[in-house]
Amino acid sequence: MNYRHAYHAGNFADVVKHVVLTRLLDYLKQKDKAFRVVDTHAGIGRYDLSSLEAQKTGEWQGGIGRLIDASLDARAGALLAPYLEAVRSLNPGDGVKKYPGSPLLARHLLRKQDRLSAIELHPKDAARLKAEFAGDFQVRVMELDGWLALGAHLPPKEKRGLVLIDPPFEEEGEFGRLVEGLIRAHRRWPGGIYALWYPIKDRKAVIAFRKALKQSGIPKILDIEFEIRPASSEPSLDGSGMVVVNPPFTLEGELRTVLPALHKLLAVEKPAHWSLEWLAGE
C-alpha cells in the first residue's frame, strides 16, 4: 500500500469527483428521510496543501487552485456552491491551504439524521481519520478492506444513500475489482446510488471497463469522462471518469451545466473532451 493521496489532493480529478459527490448529496438532502454515505476508500479526510507531498507535485494548483476564486456564471456557480462552501469552510481566509477529502466533504453536507461510514485500510490513514472524527456520533470510521465492506455493510439500515468507491489504482486488476465489487454490492442493494472513480490513463483498460459495465446487466449507469489533454504518448493521468449507478434524475442536466464550466478552467491542452454517456438505461 504505497499510494498516498496527499500528493494528489485537490487536483483536477479530485475536483470533478468531489463536485459529483456534492451534487449527489445535495439531491439526497431534498427528502427528510435519513441517508447513509459509505466511503469505501476514504483516505485521511483533511489535506494540507503546504505539505511536502502536495508541494512536490503542485497538482492542486491545476485543480482547486484554479477554481477557488474563478468567476462562474450564475447557474454553474449555484450548482458548485455546496462543494466550494465545503472547501471554504476549511479556509476561512483568502486562497486555499487545506483541502477536504471525500469523508470531510460528505460530513459537511450531512444533516443530523444522516450518517457516514468511512473505511480506510492503511493503518496510519485510518488512525488519522479516526482522530479527525473522534466524538462525532454521525461518523463511523473503520480500518477495513473497502472491497470486503461492500459485502458486509450493505444495504445500510437507512436503505437510502450513496456508496463512493475510490480505489488507488496502484495495483493491477483494479478495474476488474471495481466491476466485481459493484456487481456484488448492487446484488445486495440494488436501490443504492454508487459512484465509482477511475483514471483515464490506460485507454484500453477504460474501454474494457466500460464494456464490462455494459455487460453487467446493471441498469441505469451514467458514465462521466473528463479529460484535461489529449492522449499522452507516455502513460499519464490525462483525465478521470466517474461511473454513477442509479443517478438522481437531475444529475445529467446539472453536469451538462457544470462540466463545461470546469473544463474551461481545468483543461490544459486541446483537444481535450468531456462527455456524459449512458452505459445502461432503465
Residues that bind ligand SAM (CB under 6 A): 1, 3, 5, 17, 41-43, 101-102, 119-122, 125, 145-147, 166, 168
Q: Rounded to the nearest whole angstrom, what is the least distance from the CB of residue 18 to ligand SAM in the complex?
A: 6
φ and ψ of 35, to 5 deg = -130, 165
| Residue 153 marked in a binding site | no
Measured between alpha carbons, how far is 91 from 247 in angstroms, rounded to an integer?
30
φ and ψ of 71, to 5 deg = -90, 135
Q: Rounded to the nearest whole angstrom, what is the least distance from the CB of residue 141 to ligand SAM in the complex?
A: 11
Residue of 16, 90, 92, 108 whose CA lies nearest to 47: 90
| Residue 94 marked in a binding site | no
Between 38 and 267, whose beta carbon lies closer to ligand SAM? Answer: 38
Q: Rounded to the nearest whole angstrom, what is the least distance from the CB of residue 53 to ligand SAM in the complex?
A: 12
- b/e sequence 82-95, b meaning 16+ C-beta within 10 Å: bbbebbeebbeeee
Between 166 and 238, whose beta carbon lies closer to ligand SAM? Answer: 166
Can 166 be counted among the known catalytic residues?
yes
Between 166 and 223, whose beta carbon lies closer to ligand SAM? Answer: 166
Q: Rounded to the nearest whole angstrom, what is the least distance from the CB of residue 171 to ligand SAM in the complex?
A: 8
Q: β-strand 193-200 against 36-39: which pairing, if any?
A: unpaired
Instruction: Output the residue with the shortest Cβ distance to ligand SAM.
Output: 101
Residue 199's CB is within 10 A of a number of other CB atoms, namely: 19
| Residue 172 marked in a binding site | no
| Residue 166 marked in a binding site | yes
Output the DSSP codes for 74-86. Answer: HHHHHHHHHHHHH
Q: Rounded to the nearest whole angstrom, what is the least distance from the CB of residue 57 to ligand SAM in the complex?
A: 14
| Residue 225 marked in a binding site | no
Residue of 31, 63, 32 whose CA lies nearest to 49: 63
| Residue 18 marked in a binding site | yes
Between 30 and 59, whose beta carbon lies closer to ligand SAM? Answer: 59
Between 145 and 180, whose beta carbon lies closer to ligand SAM? Answer: 145
Catalytic residue among 26, 166, 223, 238: 166
Q: β-strand 239-245 against 193-200: which pairing, if any?
A: antiparallel
Residue 62's CB is within 10 A of a number of other CB atoms, namely: 18
Which positions make up the binding site? Answer: 18, 41, 102, 120, 145-146, 166
Catalytic residue annotation: 166
Which positions make up the binding site for S-adenosyl-L-methionine? Answer: 18, 41, 102, 120, 145-146, 166
